[in-house]
Each structure stands twice: as structure tokens, then as C-alpha cells.
């Protein structure tokens, strides 16, 4: 249970604390039923898509991993019941680490997982005729159109930029400054890769839907439960933070001497040093202030400052905490191409290379659209992010008391965040699938919920086919 609890905190970190869209980060080890080698053909009982002449095609979903040899499927298991009223294809997932930026290396596995699930979902939709997908995180009902529209816009901007860069590559071909051209094209490739990563980390079904694929995409969460879980997980993280402070873990040194406000003397000294350093660029313009934060402080110092409310107010009337959050949540992989575009445009204009100038201008305009899009979305995110530093437990300095509170929170996480959500998701899945007029659908949910969801879905008279992506199976076997 301990492992599930530690991984479950991601589900509601955004509502409770900061940074990221609703995430659920459960991971559980196996022990599930072995795959049934029979192909599962739901003839007659579960209707597939209707043909143009009105005929009905049965839906066939294989329950053997060998049947998916061209797909990144590591394992398939079939959990059959008597007299089912429908079938669910359960796809366990791993996703973006809570509180992290997309480019963080810890999200490498999540990127691979979502890319593999994307291929699986596309196959199940196109080849097996499954038109209904439920995903965790969003409230029960249709996924908000504005969320999909924003992702679709990002995909379009990425594609437009990629097309214009390719046209520029063909037109340039070393005509101006080969070194400068190479620098721009290499950076452009990095930007495209960064966008691809950000897009897939939004979740495979979201990417598929945002690309215009026609299927029903719904959320799984009950609002009251999601809010309750947010409170539980928020308090759990606050308690963990305060326990670390009391034990001196934040400073990493002197854990024996606590000051009056519950932090160690070493922590206070570190805060003092950071404050003195911050004061040196307090009066700089905002853009230069942010650049100074990014260049003058190591990542671990930024993380330390995020948890230290004493550092607020040192940026010329603006909250330092929010500025640091901007740096931590903006993609560090964000590539600036302004210099390269300017240099090449200057040379192209000077040489009268009109065709090349036009291609450079078009590519630069596409790049600027991406920058404007990111700036707008980032502004909306940072302006509404709650503060992790507002810890209601900061006056509690007794580690034993905090440990007791943490244990109680862990029990609530297991009961509500995991078990209750499993039950509600199963009920919501059946209801939404029936409302959509379907007899078979896909449920993409956190890997740590697999065992509990199988039980609850079977209880709802659903056969369950678990299709596990290669990367999810690898993590399960290695215990990551």
C-alpha cells in the first residue's frame, strides 16, 4: 500500500498545490491473470460499426499479446465473467511526473509510454472499431472542448513550423552562411522535438482526439471525490514537506537545531545567502530578472526557493515565488531562434536573396506564433497556481506527530484516492458507455489502479481485457 500511496499523490497535485494539470501517478506490481490465448470475438452481443448498408460488424479484440506483434504491446490478459453486459479494454498508463516540466528526464518513460499507447489506441479505433474512450483526470462527461482546442492549436502550430523549416532547409542549402544555417536548423529540430514531447505528454487519447480522429472521449472523475482527493493529497504533501523541514532534510546538513519558525539553522543561513544574491538584481526589468534567476541559480536552488516563502517580495513588488515557478514550469527545452533568424535575414537581404528571405520570414513567423502561444498559456498557468509554501502545518515541529498525521493521510489516500475512485470509475464507465450506445470501450487509467479496476469493472458485469504497453510492462518488471 505504501508504494501506491507515494505514487498516487500526482493525481491531485495541481488542485492541491501547483504546476500541472490533474495527474495520477499510481504504480502497482503484477500478479494478474495470465493472458487467455483465445481471440475474443464479441459476435452479435456487442455490435461494431454499422456499414453504409446498415449491416453490423462484430467487434473482435484479441486477448493474446502475439496478436499485436506489430504494436508495442508487452502483455495482454483477459478477465472474463459469466453473462457480461459489455467489455472494457483497460490500458494502464504512466504519465508526466507531477510538478515537473515536460523536458525533465524523469518524464522519458512517460513520453515513451504515451507514444506506445497512442499507437495502441489508434489501432483499436481504426482496426477494431472501438469508438469510446474514457480517461482519468477530467470530470465525468465529455472532455472539455477548450482543452482539446488548445492542444489542437499547438499541434497545428508545430506542424506549420515543421513544414516551413523544411522548405527553408531546401531553399537555403548553404547559400548564405553554412554555420549559421546549421545552428538554426539544429535548434529548430530541438524545438520540434520539444513540442512533440509536450503534446504526447498531454496524454495519448487527447492527442488522438485533437488531431481530429472521430471517437467519444470522456473523463472519469466525480467532482466531489476529486475535490476530496485534492484536499487529502494536498495535506499529505504539506505534512511530508514539514517533516522534511523538521528533520533538516531541506538544508541537507544540520538537522539538530531548529529555529523558532521550525526550520534548521542551516536552512536559515541558506535562505540568507539566497536573499543577498537576489537583492543584486531586484530592480531589473521583469524579463532580465527572470533571465537572472534562470542563469544565476542552480535547479536545486530554484526548487529550494519554491518551498521557502521567506523569499517572496524580493523582485520589485512581484512575488518571487511566482517568477521562480515560471522558470520551473516553462519548458527548459524551449529554444530561442531569434538570433539565428535575425542573422540569416540580414545576410539574405544584403545579398538580394528574395526567395530565401521569404522562406526565412515565413519560418520566423511560424516560430513567433509558437512563442506567443506558449507565453499566453504559461501566463494563465502561473497566475492561477496555488502556493505550496502556504503550509498549514508549518507550526508543527514534532516529527512524531507529523508521522502520525502522515500515516492517517496514507490510509485516506488508499481508501478514497485509490479504492473509491476505482469504484466510481467503474460505475461511470458503464453509465457513459451505455449512454453512448456502445457495448465495448477503452479505459486508460493509472497503472497502480489495474488490480482494483479489474475487480470493480468485473463487478459491473464487464469483461476486462488488459492491454499493457511495452514500457508499462518494463516498469512493472523493474519496479520503477
Q: Residues 284-303: pLDDT tens digits?
A: 766 666 667 666 766 666 66
Return d(Cα 419, Cα 230) in angstroms, integer. Answer: 15
Residue 148 has pLDDT above 50, yes or no: yes
Whether 39 and 169 share a structural domain: yes
- Summary mean pLDDT of the chain: 80
**Range(s) of the domain holding residue 300:** 251-306+308-387
Whether 129 and 39 share a structural domain: yes
Which pLDDT belongs to residue 246? 87
Whether 371 and 260 share a structural domain: yes
Whether 380 and 469 share a structural domain: no
Return d(Cα 169, Cα 211) in angstroms, integer. Answer: 26
Whether 212 and 257 share a structural domain: no
Mean pLDDT of 306-325: 51
Q: Answer with the residue of higher pLDDT: 37 or 178.
A: 178
Among the candidates 351, 369, 387, a domain finishes at: 387
Domain count for the chain, please give it. Answer: 2
Among the candidates 365, 387, 409, a domain finishes at: 387
Whether 168 is covered by a domain: the verdict is yes
Contacts of 316 (CB under 8 A, 6+ apart): 282, 283, 284, 286, 289
Whether 346 and 449 share a structural domain: no
Residue 386 banded pLDDT, cuts 50, 70, 90: low
Whether 392 is covered by a domain: the verdict is no
Q: How many CA atoms lie within 13 A of 277 on its CB side?
A: 17
Residue 397 has pLDDT above 50, yes or no: yes
Whether 421 is covered by a domain: the verdict is no
Mean pLDDT of 372-392: 66
Cell of 413: 489516500
Residue 59 · residue 129 · CB < 8 Å? yes
Whether 407 is covered by a domain: the verdict is no
Least confident of 36-40, 42-46, 242-246, 352-356: 42-46
Whether 184 and 284 share a structural domain: no
Whether 164 is covered by a domain: the verdict is yes
Residue 97 banded pLDDT, cuts 50, 70, 90: confident
Which pLDDT belongs to residue 303? 62
Whether 261 is covered by a domain: the verdict is yes
Whether 94 is covered by a domain: the verdict is yes
Pairing label, strands 132-139, 216-221: parallel
Residue 171 has pLDDT above 90, yes or no: yes
Whether 415 is covered by a domain: the verdict is no
What's the residue count for the chain? 480
Residue 152 has pLDDT above 70, yes or no: yes
Whether 64 and 187 share a structural domain: yes
Nearest-CA neighbor of 230 among 1, 6, 7, 9? 9
Q: Answer with the residue of higher pLDDT: 352 or 42.
A: 352
Percent of the chain residues past pLDDT 70, beyond the cut: 70
Which pLDDT belongs to residue 269? 72
Whether 380 and 439 share a structural domain: no
Please tell me the pTM assigned to this model. 0.73
Whether 467 and 371 share a structural domain: no
Whether 164 and 301 share a structural domain: no
Q: Give the best-scoring range by mean pLDDT among 25-34, 196-205, 266-275, 381-390.
A: 196-205
Q: Answer with the residue of higher pLDDT: 355 or 382.
A: 355
Contacts of 104 (CB under 8 A, 6+ apart): 97, 332
Whether 42 and 90 share a structural domain: yes
Q: Answer with the residue of higher pLDDT: 328 or 246.
A: 246
Percent of the chain residues past pLDDT 90, beyond the cut: 56
Return d(Cα 54, Cα 67) in angstroms, integer. Answer: 29
Return d(Cα 17, Cα 435) in angstroms, integer. Answer: 34
Among the candidates 332, 357, 387, a domain finishes at: 387
Q: State the CB neighbour count (10 A cutoff) for residue 324.
A: 24
Amino acid at each position: 500500500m505504501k508504494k501506491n500511496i507515494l505514487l498516487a499523490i500526482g493525481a491531485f497535485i495541481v488542485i492541491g498545490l501547483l504546476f500541472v494539470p490533474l495527474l495520477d501517478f499510481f504504480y502497482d506490481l503484477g500478479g494478474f491473470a495470465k493472458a487467455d490465448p483465445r481471440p475474443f470475438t464479441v459476435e452479435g452481443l456487442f455490435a461494431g460499426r454499422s456499414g453504409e448498408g446498415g449491416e453490423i460488424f462484430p467487434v473482435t479484440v484479441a486477448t493474446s499479446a502475439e496478436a499485436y506483434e506489430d504494436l508495442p504491446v508487452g502483455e495482454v490478459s483477459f478477465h472474463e465473467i459469466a453473462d457480461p453486459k459489455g467489455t472494457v479494454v483497460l490500458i494502464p498508463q504512466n504519465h508526466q511526473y507531477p510538478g515537473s516540466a515536460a523536458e525533465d528526464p524523469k518524464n522519458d518513460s512517460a513520453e515513451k509510454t504515451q507514444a506506445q499507447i497512442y499507437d495502441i489506441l489508434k489501432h483499436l479505433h481504426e482496426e477494431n472499431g472501438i469508438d469510446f474512450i474514457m480517461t482519468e483526470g477530467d470530470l465525468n462527461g465529455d472532455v472539455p472542448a477548450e482543452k482539446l482546442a488548445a492542444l489542437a492549436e499547438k499541434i497545428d502550430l508545430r506542424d506549420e513550423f515543421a513544414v516551413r523549416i523544411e522548405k527553408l532547409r531546401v531553399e537555403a542549402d548553404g547559400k548564405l552562411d553554412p554555420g549559421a544555417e546549421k545552428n538554426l536548423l539544429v535548434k529548430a529540430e530541438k524545438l520540434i522535438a520539444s513540442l512533440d514531447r509536450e503534446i504526447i505528454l498531454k496524454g495519448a487519447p487527447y492527442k488522438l482526439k485533437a488531431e481530429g480522429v472521430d471517437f467519444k472521449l470522456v473523463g472519469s472523475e466525480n467532482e466531489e471525490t476529486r475535490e476530496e482527493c485534492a484536499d487529502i493529497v494536498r495535506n499529505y504533501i504539506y505534512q511530508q514537506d514539514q517533516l522534511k523541514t523538521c528533520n533538516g532534510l531541506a538544508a541537507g546538513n544540520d538537522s539538530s537545531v531548529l529555529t523558532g519558525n521550525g526550520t534548521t539553522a542551516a536552512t536559515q543561513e541558506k535562505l540568507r545567502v539566497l536573499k543577498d544574491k537576489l537583492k543584486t538584481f531586484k530592480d531589473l526589468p521583469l524579463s532580465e530578472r527572470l533571465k537572472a534567476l534562470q542563469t544565476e541559480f542552480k535547479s536545486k536552488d530554484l526548487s529550494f526557493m519554491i518551498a521557502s516563502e521567506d523569499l517572496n517580495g524580493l523582485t520589485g513588488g512581484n512575488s518571487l515565488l511566482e517568477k521562480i515557478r515560471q522558470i520551473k514550469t516553462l519548458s527548459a527545452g524551449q529554444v530561442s531562434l531569434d538570433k539565428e533568424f535575425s542573422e540569416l535575414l540580414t545576410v539574405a537581404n544584403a545579398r538580394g536573396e528574395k526567395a530565401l528571405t521569404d522562406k526565412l520570414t515565413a519560418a520566423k513567423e511560424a516560430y513567433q506564433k509558437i512563442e506567443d502561444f506558449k507565453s499566453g498559456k504559461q501566463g494563465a498557468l502561473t497566475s492561477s497556481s496555488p502556493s505550496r509554501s502556504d503550509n498549514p502545518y508549518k507550526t508543527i515541529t514534532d516529527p512524531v506527530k507529523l508521522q502520525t498525521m502522515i500515516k492517517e493521510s496514507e490510509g485516506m489516500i488508499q481508501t478514497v484516492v485509490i479504492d473509491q475512485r476505482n469504484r466510481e470509475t467503474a460505475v461511470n464507465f458503464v453509465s457513459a458507455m451505455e449512454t453512448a450506445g456502445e457495448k465495448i470501450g477503452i479505459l486508460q487509467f493509472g497503472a497502480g489502479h489495474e488490480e482494483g479496476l479489474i475487480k470493480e469493472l468485473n463487478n459491473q458485469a464487464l469483461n476486462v481485457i488488459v492491454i499493457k504497453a511495452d514500457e508499462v510492462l518494463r516498469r512493472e518488471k523493474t519496479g520503477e
